[in-house]
Amino acid sequence: MQAAMLMAEQAARGHLERELADAKADNERLALLVKEFQRLRHGRRSEKLDPDQLNLALEAIETAIAEVQESEHQRRKRRGDATGEAVKNRPGRGARIFPADLPHIERVIEPAELACPC
Q: What is the pLDDT of residues 45-71, one digit of tens each?
A: 555 667 777 788 788 888 888 888 888
Can you give the residue ranges of every domain in the chain? Answer: 2-79
50 CB-side CA count, 13 A: 4
Distance of alpha carbon 4 from its chain centroid, rounded? 30
Decide if 30 contacts 64 (C-beta within 8 A).
yes
Q: Are 47 and 19 in contact (CB under 8 A)?
A: no
What is the pLDDT averaged over residues 78-105? Answer: 69
Which comes out higher in pLDDT, residue 14 or 38?
Answer: 14
Q: Enter the DSSP assignment of 116.
A: -
Across the chain, mean pLDDT equals 79
pTM value is 0.38
Find which of 8-12, 50-54, 57-61, 79-83 is predicted with most confidence, using mean pLDDT: 8-12
